[in-house]
Amino acid sequence: MIDEGPWPRMELIYERSRAGRRAGRVPDYGLPRPELPAELRRTHAPRLPEVSEPELVRHITALADRNFGIDTGFYPLGSCTMKHNPRVNERAGRLPGFRDLHPYQDDEGAQGMLELEWRLQEILKEIAGLPAITLQPAAGSQGELTGLMLMRAYFADRGEDEQRDTIVTADTAHGTNPASVTMAGYRLEKVATDARGNLDLADLGAKVNERTAGLMLTNPSTLGLFDEGIEEVARIFHAAGALLYYDGANLNAVVGRSRPGDMGFDIVHFNLHKTFSQPHGGGGPGGGPVAVRESIAPFLPAPLVVRDGDTFRLDYDRPKSIGRVRGFTGPAGVFIRSYAFMRAYGPGLREMSDVAVLNANYLLARLRDDYELPYDRLCMHEFVLSARRLKRDHGITALDVAKRLMDFRIHPPTIYFPLVVPEALMIEPTETEPKERLDEFVEAMRQIAREAAEDPETLRQAPHHRPVRRLDEVRAAKQPVVRYAFETEVVT
């Protein structure tokens, strides 16, 4: 069959499978093989693929060819911080002393790992400006849930848990925030954003009272703007006896420039896979450590990593702890990579944020006239444009812009978020991009704006140069097909 390239027809691994093929072999020591009880034994072999190693490697390669990572090109996905993932971190993660270490090893047999975790804690505490920390949560959203549980425990300890049943979030909040609030058993109260992109203090004042447990906020916000009233915001909540929780998704803007603890936040989660270069892996893994004020430290998940002179150990003696939120001390492999990243920069982590903010402002300055800028301010590490004008004048939406960017070998920015901006395009270049990539992005966005006026159909039919055209998401939701059907699969 002639290969019409560049995207060859793609099979599922189950379609590459041939009965009797295999890749791996398992040693057999000729020992007696006891039979398991009949009622517990497998009756039908699982239909796993039967492939040889060459075919498996080809399959993995074909899949990789159809995917796009930061390694491939510019990836300005707002609020995701798609920065370069350093390769030395991968080498570190494969060191046998880390890779083959069992988590139930005695503390004295894990001193290297425990020291790494302790030192990571120290650096994170310095960046947050808070004195206590847990590394356990598996992701930012789990960090959020942990933070809310910490709030609950703090207020329960003071006899105020019944009374304080509400969490306040911004109307620009990440989708995880309201979901975490629900899972923690709290009510949700939303506060508006004002014309300058800050929390509306009048609205806030009206909504904070004795029922308020706390605020969940990211600063800078998802609009990429630093809340100029943050000191007053903190005062309002603390005066009402409530706490402030910092969503660390946008921390890349302010490392070494402003510390969440100094802004007034009492609980801070970090996204190691955003700010601190843990690779995103197509969706995960991540890491979501949570730093807290001294008054909240007693409630942190157990165990904590502590130092006694020259040795390090796990401290399980935490009587007021909320309990465990994940296995062991957390995602250790993620700690290794983030720690390596931090040690590479040292105090120069501040420059990381400086350049993240410089890159974003440069794009903003060059794109503000071609698209609509809803908040006329210098931004921080990201900013939001609106494609509203294109929609009004030419019927071209943010979605069309995103799909056409793919043809330029650029990953689209985040679209339709935050909800307060219509036809939103949230752009975060990060600090690792060179100026030429930024200029290419500007040229691509300008060309798209021109095409909207001159040739909108090309935009509506985009992408033209990816393995698939636009996919029918309605069909996928209405008739969900979530596994290979073996006998009945129809290959197109």
Partner 1 sequence: MSYLSLTDADREAMLEAIGVGSIDDLFDQVPAGVRFERELDVPPALSEVELMRHLEELAARNAHFGTELSFLGAGIYDHYVPAVIDAFLARGEFLTAYTPYQPEMSQGVLQAIFEYQTAICELTGMDVSNASGYDGTTVAADACFVAKHTSDRSKVVLAETLNPQVRQVVKTYARGFGLEVVEVPHDGGVTDPDRIRAAAADAAAVVFQQPNFFGCLEPAPDLAAAASEAGAHAIAHVDLMSLGLLEAPGAYGCAMAIGEGQSVGCPPLYGGPHYGFFAARQEFIRRMPGRIVGETVDEDGQRGYVLTLQTREQHIRREKATSNMTTNQTLLALAGLFTLCWLGPQGLREVGETCVALAEHAKAALHGRGFELAFPERTTFKEFAVRVPRPAREVIREARARGVHPGYAIGRDYEGLDDVLLVTVTEKRVPADIERLADVLAEVSG
Partner 2 sequence: MAAAESYPDDLLYHPEHDWARVDGDEAVLGITWFAQDALGELVHFEAPEAGVSVTKDEAYGEVESVKAVSDVVAPLSGEILEVNARAIDEPELVNEDPYGEGWLVRIRVADDGELAALLGADAYRAVIAEQ
Binding interface with partner 2 (CB under 8 A): 473-474, 477-478
Q: What is the DSSP letter of 108?
A: G
Q: Does 6 bind partner 1 (CB under 8 A)?
A: no
> Residue 102 binds what, of partner 2, partner 1, none (CB under 5 to 8 Å, by partner type)?
partner 1
Asked, as a colleague might, if the bond just before 6 is cis with ω within 30 of 0, I would say: yes
> Residue 14 binds what, of partner 1, partner 2, none (CB under 5 to 8 Å, by partner type)?
partner 1
> Residue 53 binds what, of partner 1, partner 2, none (CB under 5 to 8 Å, by partner type)?
partner 1
Q: Does 201 bind partner 1 (CB under 8 A)?
A: no
Q: Is 16 helix (H, G, I), strand (E, B) or coil?
A: helix
Identity of the residue, 66 or 320, whose beta carbon is nearer to partner 1 in the bound complex = 66
> Residue 133 binds what, of partner 1, partner 2, none (CB under 5 to 8 Å, by partner type)?
none
Q: What is the DSSP letter of 429?
A: -
What is the rounded distance in angstroms from the CA atom of residue 190 to the CA atom of residue 437?
38
Per CB under 8 A, the list member of 76, 147, 330, 374 interacting with partner 1 is 330
Identity of the residue, 22 or 469, whose beta carbon is nearer to partner 2 in the bound complex = 469
Q: Considering only 202-210, 335-343, 385-393, 443-451, which stretch makes contact with partner 1 by CB under 8 A?
A: 335-343
Q: Considering only 203-211, 323-331, 385-393, 447-455, which stretch makes contact with partner 1 by CB under 8 A?
A: 323-331
392, 398 contact by CB (below 8 A): no
Identity of the residue, 9 or 187, whose beta carbon is nearer to partner 2 in the bound complex = 187
User: Rounded to the nearest whole angstrom, what is the least distance from the CB of residue 148 to partner 2 in the complex?
Assistant: 23
Q: 282: which 2 tokens?
A: 């197509």
Distances (CA, A) of 30 to 25, 27, 235, 238, 490: 15, 9, 72, 70, 44
Per CB under 8 A, the list member of 294, 328, 369, 455 interacting with partner 1 is 328
Q: Does 205 bind partner 1 (CB under 8 A)?
A: no
Q: Does 340 bind partner 1 (CB under 8 A)?
A: yes
CA-based end-to-end distance of the chain: 16
User: Rounded to the nearest whole angstrom, what is the least distance from the CB of residue 208 to partner 1 in the complex?
Assistant: 19
Q: 244: which 2 tokens?
A: 């402030």
Q: Within 13 Å of residue 81, how many CA atoms lie on the same side as its CB?
A: 29
Considering only residues 170 through 189, tell me which ones interact with partner 1, judged by CB under 8 A: 174-176, 178-185, 188
Per CB under 8 A, the list member of 402, 424, 426, 445 interacting with partner 1 is 402
Write each residue from 443 to 472 as x if it is in contact with partner 1 (CB under 8 A), else as -, in one continuous string: ------------------x-x--xxxxxxx
Identity of the residue, 36 or 474, whose beta carbon is nearer to partner 2 in the bound complex = 474
> Residue 406 binds what, of partner 2, partner 1, none (CB under 5 to 8 Å, by partner type)?
partner 1
> Residue 184 binds what, of partner 1, partner 2, none (CB under 5 to 8 Å, by partner type)?
partner 1
| Closest among 225, 245, 126, 236 to 184, alpha carbons compared | 245
| Closest among 412, 403, 413 to 458, alpha carbons compared | 403
Range 296-301, long-range pairs (CB < 8 A, 24+ positions)? 296/132, 296/150, 296/154, 296/243, 296/266, 296/267, 297/131, 297/132, 298/157, 299/150, 299/153, 299/154, 299/157, 300/132, 300/133, 300/134, 300/150, 301/134, 301/136, 301/137, 301/146, 301/325, 301/326
User: Rounded to the nearest whole angstrom, what is the least distance from the CB of residue 480 to partner 2 in the complex?
Assistant: 9
Residue 374 Rama label (left phi>0; alpha psi -120 to 50; beta): alpha
Element (H, E) at 416: none
Identity of the residue, 146 or 397, whose beta carbon is nearer to partner 2 in the bound complex = 397
Q: Does 8 bind partner 1 (CB under 8 A)?
A: no
